[in-house]
Structure 1
Amino acid sequence: MGLRAFVLAVALLLGAAPAQAEPQGLPSPGLTRLLQAELARFPSKSGIYVKDLATGEEAAVRGDEHFESASTIKIAVMVLAFRLADAGKLDLNARYTLRPEDYRGGSGVLRYGDFGATPTVRDLITQMIITSDNTATDIMIRKVGGPAAVNDFLRGSGYVALKLNKTLLDHFRWRYEVLDPKYRALSPQDVYALQSNAPYFTAPRAALIAEVRRESAARDLDTLVARQNDVEDTWLGVVTPVELGRMLEGIERETVASPAACEEMKRMLRAQQSGARKIPHFLTVPVAHKTGENTGVTHDMGMIYARSGTIVMVSLNTGATGLIADADDRIGELARLVVDYFDGAR
């Protein structure tokens, strides 16, 4: 007996009706119980959404709860960019010249290059996805019209919870505003200097860097920031497992943009360079995915191209304790369990 059949049999014994394998889909009580049992062992607040696109069978735990997005919200920026390209309002082949004020800390590779590089808009979207590049992300947020335009697109598309609160610049600068409101006036170059060791940025700002370090140590900046972890306005964005899953399904089914645009998005997601220890870790089938990380936060979401068909999976985990690498492994183990559940019965 395969894992899927076993779980359904247990569900029947417990008095739950099995989900019907219909394209429209019905919640799967057996899979839900299995996922609940697994997440109960996670040292974090965790939510998950899983859907077999071939049958519509789906399950969720904390599916509609709000989670800090970290970089998973970048997928909404990508979809909007391709929709604008479809409408002739954004040229993916146009080149953009990188300037000092574009550089952002955190993830990505563009900040390690020299000024004056001229990636295409398509290159920027690619880096935003496959290396979660924050420099590329803020450029693309501007290109699509800013956070308000992203949120108008999301509301117009029927997403209730998904939201981009701010740019990466504002998100990083907020950390210093927690110390003192005067830091709201920090320039993009100031913020980047506080997050890098690049002499071009740090040398002229040595006094500022020393001042912020003194204040951070004296007031325990990490603790000040942690006290606001549950305040949604302080997050980069807001997501839920179910709504992220819906967006992924739209990309896979080629309904969120033109078929050609969706194919490009899927190629980018399949070229992911981060999160090898997450969804793909223990799998031997292709995965197209996007990660998100922050302090105590580790997410992954994507399409798993299992032998039985495509599975959408979204795993969100916040307030994680212990090693993040261990939390990433748990995401990988969940993905293996999900694939075994669907593939093992066929």
Structure 2
Amino acid sequence: MERAFREADVSGRLHAVDIDTGRELGVGADDPVVLASVYKVPLLVAFFRLAARGVLDPAERITLRPDERTEGGTGLSVMLDDVTMSLRDLALMMITVSDNAAADAVYARVGRDEVNAALDGLGLPGIRVTGDGRDLFDALLADSGTSGLGELWQRADEPGMLDRLGPLDPSRTSAGTPRELTGLLSLIWLDRAAPAAECALMRRMLGHQVWPHRLSAGFPRDDIRVSGKTGTLLTLRNEIGVVEYPDGGRYAVAVFTRAAEPVAVAPRADAVIGATARIAVEALRRVR
């Protein structure tokens, strides 16, 4: 795994665990890592825990206008007209296509304190969420002194620029460790992150993620199911997910990578997520 990360010209952190036996392995599994859009999984858990308690109504309908939606490259973020959708379907959009506008609408109903309280209640204090997508983008612009994400991309290779950006520093943004993130996934798959019905809905949403180029790329078989959530931010490419085999084997995997240079298209960094996940899962299966 370490060699694969080096050959892809990234630094990597990974943890994989057999959900049913607890066997595990990793590379830097307890190192703090930036969540980026992976923060949407703890948000999803907190959302469904509140829904199960009746604190919020997942069928509540929310209308979002174009001028109040968070930037992003997918979903509601790029739509041109008013959109009305239930909170539950907004949660679906934030997971399946990593919709920033949908995620921020859910976050507005749930709140940072509830997300972190849910993580504490699940025994995962190493995962912390500090804000939503709008907070992250605002921090990027403030730290970089730029007026927009386009200008930030143009100036990203300036000396010292990346070092100034709080959203790339796990001590200054939403962060966790690979081990605790696989722990969170394991709790969802074991019906312990929330009541069983809510965990089933979370598994369904994570199973509908549309991106095939990272974790799923390591398991190109029709009889292997991969569910997950990606995270992408400048030099960072991440994914956490669960790989399920037809023989019943279930493996939670978290892979976090950081490249030296910010590039929008990085196929080697994307591919190494699936490659290292496959190495880890195959090793766990040999001792199952």
Q: State the match for 2:175 in structure 1.
A: 238
Question: Given the alignment of the two structures, is residue 338 of structure 1 paired with residue 247 of structure 2, yes or no?
Answer: no
Matched residues in 2 for 1:221 and 1:241: separation?
27
Using a 3 Å threshold, how does the CA distance of structure 1 residues 117 and 227 change in structure 2: closer, same or farther? same
1:103-147 deviation per Cα after TM superposition (whole angstroms, max 9, x unaligned): 121242112324331111111000110111100111111110x22
Q: Distance in 1 between matches of 2:217 and 2:53?
A: 38
1:43-122 aligned within 5 A: 43-122=9-88
Distance 1:216 1:37 in 2: 29
Matched, 1:329 2:277: no
Partner of 1:202: none
Residues 88 and 341 of structure 1, relative CA distance in 2, 3 Å threshold = same
Q: What is the match of residue 136 of structure 1?
A: 102
The superposition leaves residues 262-312 of structure 1 with CA deviations (integer Å, 9 ceiling, x where unpaired) of 0000000110012x1111114111111111111111111111002441011
**Structure 1: distance between partners of 2:56 and 2:161:** 37
Q: Measure the CA separation in 1 of the matches of 2:19 and 2:45.
A: 20
Report the TM-score when normalising by structure 1. 0.73
Structure 1 residue 331 displacement after superposition:
1.4
In structure 2, relative to structure 1, the CA distance for the partners of 1:221 and 1:109 (3 Å cut) is: same
In structure 2, distance between residues paired with 1:178 and 1:343? 44
Higher mean Cα deviation, 166-175 or 80-89?
A: 166-175
Cα distance in 2, alignment partners of residues 90 and 169 from structure 1: 22
Question: Judging changes above 3 Å, is the alpha-carbon distance between structure 1 residues 56 and 334 closer, same or farther for their aligned structure 2 residues?
Answer: same
Quote the Cα distance in structure 1 between the aligned partners of 2:255 and 2:156: 29
Aligned-partner residue type, residue 87 of structure 2: V
Letter in 2 for 1:263: A
Distance 2:89 2:170 in 1: 31
In the alignment, structure 1 residue 177 sits paired with structure 2 residue 114: no
Task: Check conservation: 1:175, 1:225, Cα contact below 8 A.
Answer: no
Q: Determine the C-alpha separation between the residues in 1 that align with 2:2 and 2:8.
A: 10
Mapping 1:219-234, distance limit 5 Å: 220=155, 223=158, 225-229=161-165, 231-232=169-170, 234=172
Displacement of 1:336 = 2.7
- Per the TM alignment, residue 159 of structure 1 is displaced from its structure 2 partner at its CA by 1.9
Q: Distance in 1 between matches of 2:135 and 2:32?
A: 21
Distance 1:87 1:261 in 2: 11
Query: Are 1:281 and 2:214 an aligned pair?
Result: no
Preserved contact between residue 49 and residue 315 of structure 1 (Cα < 8 Å):
yes
Q: Would the aligned equivalents of 2:255 and 2:277 in 1 still touch at CA under 8 Å?
A: no
Contact 2:238–2:256, Cα closer than 8 Å, also in 1:
yes
Residue by residue, what CA displacement relative to the aligned partner does 1:143-200 show, whole Å, maximum 9, x if unpaired? Answer: 10x22332233233322221112221121122332355xx9xxxxxxx8xx469xxxx
Alignment partners' CA distance in 2, 1:76 and 1:318: 21
- 1:195 and 1:166 map into 2 onto residues whose CA distance is 18
**Gaps in structure 1 of 5+ consecutive residues:** 1-34, 184-190, 197-212
Q: Percent of aligned positions with the same letter in both sequences?
A: 27
Partner of 1:270: 207
Q: Deviations over 1:209-247 (max 9, x none)?
A: xxxx6x997xx4663641225643543x11210010000
- Tell which deviates more after alignment, 100-109 or 37-46: 37-46
TM-score by length of 2: 0.87
Maintained 8 Å contact 1:315/1:331: yes
Distance in 2 between residues matched to 1:169 and 1:317, nearest whole Å: 23
Distance 1:42 1:240 in 2: 21
Distance 2:126 2:287 in 1: 34
Paired amino acid for 2:170: E
Give, as a single letter, the amino acid of the residue that structure 1 aligns with 2:241: G
SS of residue in 1 equivalent to 2:257:
strand
Q: Which residue of 1 aligns with 2:238?
A: 299
Indicate whether 1:126 and 2:65 are aligned. Answer: no
- Please give the alpha-carbon distance, in whole angstroms, between the structure 2 residues aligned to 1:227 and 1:277: 28
